Structure 1
């Protein structure tokens, strides 16, 4: 009879086999008879009986195999913590490294430079996995952006605006402008591997429209599509529409915009000064479009229009944009979802 090799059994199986051996032993069965009945080797049977004799039932539970947790690691706990903090707080370029992102190669090079420990790419990846780090597509952020200004906005400036809006019975609108063109095809198309799909270009003139819009965390969306240049006259026209809607609902408009030049021009400042009771405008930190929830509306609109068959005329482009904007405006839940993006959730 071929004997079972306990070394290749799962721990649960081995534990059950040892319990079987001990039960037979307690009934008075001899060792060689247990070997014949169980198919285990003599050392395995004898070992289980001896373990039971020394420590009882708890002693026969097999210990975990392999090396102890942490055994053989080249970085100690303090060094690991230092690397994790660095990845979270710094970019490679800030440490004068020739990497744009924290890749495994960048982390490997940093560890060797700081601690003199050379790891392989695979070992570096294992450390990252163990720390709970995963490869992710980074958020694009302007080089000129000042992190301290962003922190000041999130921690102090915006909460102050929110408190004022609540105290004065107002409503916070997040505004932004975007361009719509009839040649912007977005998304991916399935095709056989190695055969890149071709999109037919739109013939004739490239048509372009502009749109200014606002969203609120209550799910409201307002917009105006513009044929031609976006200037202070068009901006004031849109602001007038916001004020009319605010008066109808008896709510003052607290409008948050980016730092586009037209937002700061003299005619707009003068108009806002004359209508301060109905509307006030505040500005995001410079080079920080990711902080604006209305950017999500723009992405939603462009994705929808770009995934359809390209239109050939400006009228059809306007109709397509207006149709989707009406769909968005009628779907408050969709608008509120823009504010669930982790980057803008502070405004939710």
Structure 2
């Protein structure tokens, strides 16, 4: 069974510093840079960079700052645009805003972003924004809105057995239809709403 190490980009500064020190200790103990990198779950180039900095200037020369883009940079939508879109998602329906969709799904949100800001965003990115904002996919319930549990129980225990008995006596064929399937406003697709 292979153990998968977490992505080191998500580690805290303290843990990264400990990894750097362990890498240097491993190389000083005779392990190759490639072996140290594999063992610690970092790129070989990273270990090489740490070792080069250490041999050139000691521990003080080790990189302390994070590499890569800071979290949140490179996003298509600004924080203000995101807050405005969330307000619309919470207070309006797609049809209120001229979008041809019965619920807020990723395509409807993509159309909203295009209408509001003129930005074309891939469906996958829309899903990432929705997840980041705390929205999850919701599947509509599949029962009648005005269903009374007591009436359902009475139907199953008394009414239906009587109908079935009568149909058998008359050699009749019974046909069934699901009222949710015939509702004019039935929509079995997923929509997004706040988690919870």
The TM tier, using the shorter chain, reads: 0.5 to 0.7
Question: What SS class does the counterpart of residue 83 from structure 1 fall into?
Answer: helix
Change (3 A) 1:73 1:17: closer
Per the alignment, do residues 111 and 312 of structure 1 end up closer, same or farther by CA in structure 2, a change over 3 Å counting?
Answer: same
- Residue of structure 2 aligned with 1:18, choices 11, 17, 20: 20
Q: Does 1:83 align with 2:90?
A: no
Give 1:300 deviation, angstroms: 2.6
Helix, strand or coil for the counterpart of 2:137?
coil
Alpha-carbon deviation of 1:109? 0.8
**In structure 1, what is the Cα distance between the partners aligned to 2:19 and 2:99?**
57
Task: Report the Cα distance in structure 1 between the residues aligned to 2:152 and 2:68, rounded to whole angstroms.
Answer: 52
> Is residue 70 of structure 1 aligned with residue 76 of structure 2?
no
Normalising by structure 1, report the TM-score: 0.33
Q: Secondary structure at the match of 1:311?
A: helix
**2:191 equivalent in structure 1:** none
Matched with 1:299 is 148
SS across alignment from 1:111: helix
Alignment partners' CA distance in 2, 1:305 and 1:48: 80
Equivalent in 22, 31, 35 of residue 38 of structure 1: 31
Specify whether residues 40 and 100 from structure 1 end up closer, same or farther in structure 2 by C-alpha distance, changes over 3 A only.
Answer: same
CA RMSD of aligned residues (A): 3.9
Q: How big is the shift at 1:308?
A: 6.5
Q: 1:75 to 1:131 in 2, by over 3 A?
A: same
Aligned pair 1:110/2:117, yes or no?
Answer: no
Q: Is the 8 A contact 2:110 2:121 kept in 1?
A: yes
What 5-or-longer segments of structure 2 have no aligned partner?
35-47, 164-196
Give the secondary-structure state (helix, strand or coil) at the position aligned to 1:135: strand
Q: Is the Cα contact below 8 Å between 2:106 and 2:126 reproduced in 1?
A: yes
3-state secondary structure, aligned to 1:38? coil
The one of 72, 95, 98 equivalent to 1:96 is 98
Task: Pick from 115, 129, 132 the counterpart of residue 130 of structure 1.
Answer: 132
Residue-pair matches, total: 139
Write out aligned runs for 1:43-58 (5 A). Answer: 43-48=49-54, 50=57, 52-54=59-61
| Greater strand share, structure number | 1
